[in-house]
Amino acid sequence: MVQFSTPAIPKAFREFEAVPLKISPHGTPRRWVNAFSGEFIGPNASNLYATEPLFGDWEGRVLLLAQDALPARSLRNLLDLYLTQGTPRESAWRHAERGKEGHKGGFQTNELIEAMMKTYARGVGALYGSATAYMLYDNGTTHYSRSLPGLHDPRLRNHLRDVLRWVWGSMPNLKYVLCLGEVAWDLSVEAANLRCNTPFQKLRDGDRADDCLTGMVNARELVFIPSFHPAARCERSQKERGWRKLADAINADKNA
The reply to whether 4 falls in a domain is: no
| SS3 assignment, position 245 | helix
Question: CA quadruple 52, 34, 105, 240: dihedral positive or negative?
Answer: negative
Q: What is the pLDDT along the chain (256 residues), one digit of tens a residue?
A: 445 689 999 999 999 987 776 655 566 678 899 999 999 999 989 999 999 999 999 999 999 999 999 999 999 999 999 899 999 999 999 998 887 777 777 788 999 999 999 999 999 999 999 999 999 999 888 888 888 988 999 999 999 999 999 999 999 999 999 999 999 999 999 999 998 889 999 999 987 778 899 999 988 999 999 999 988 888 999 999 999 999 999 998 877 6
Distance CA(160)–CA(69), nearest Å, equals: 13
The reply to whether 3 falls in a domain is: no
Q: What is the pLDDT of residue 27?
A: 64
The reply to whether 202 falls in a domain is: yes
β-bridge partners, 178: 64, 225
The reply to whether 140 falls in a domain is: yes
Q: What angle do CA 29, 35, 40 make, to 5 degrees?
A: 80
Q: What angle do CA 164, 113, 52 make, to 5 degrees?
A: 45
The reply to whether 24 falls in a domain is: yes
Q: What is the pLDDT of residue 22?
A: 63
Q: What is the pLDDT of residue 1?
A: 43
The reply to whether 5 falls in a domain is: no
Q: What is the pLDDT of residue 218?
A: 85
Name residue 135's amino acid.
M
The reply to whether 108 falls in a domain is: yes
Residue 57 phi/psi, 5-degree rounding, is -90, 100
* Number of compact structural domains in the chain: 1
Name residue 109's amino acid.
T
Q: What is the pLDDT of residue 152?
A: 92
Cα–Cα separations (whole angstroms), residue 210 to 28, 203, 240, 247: 43, 9, 17, 14
Q: What is the pLDDT of residue 26?
A: 61
Nearest to 178 by CA among 34, 43, 17, 55: 55
Q: Assess contact for 167 and 52: CB atoms under 8 A.
A: no
- CA Rg value for the chain: 18
Distance CA(41)–CA(44), nearest Å, equals: 8
139: domain CATH number is 3.40.470.10
Distance CA(229)–CA(103), nearest Å, equals: 20
Residue 161 is inside which H or E element, if any? helix 154-169
The reply to whether 65 falls in a domain is: yes
**Domain of 80?**
11-255
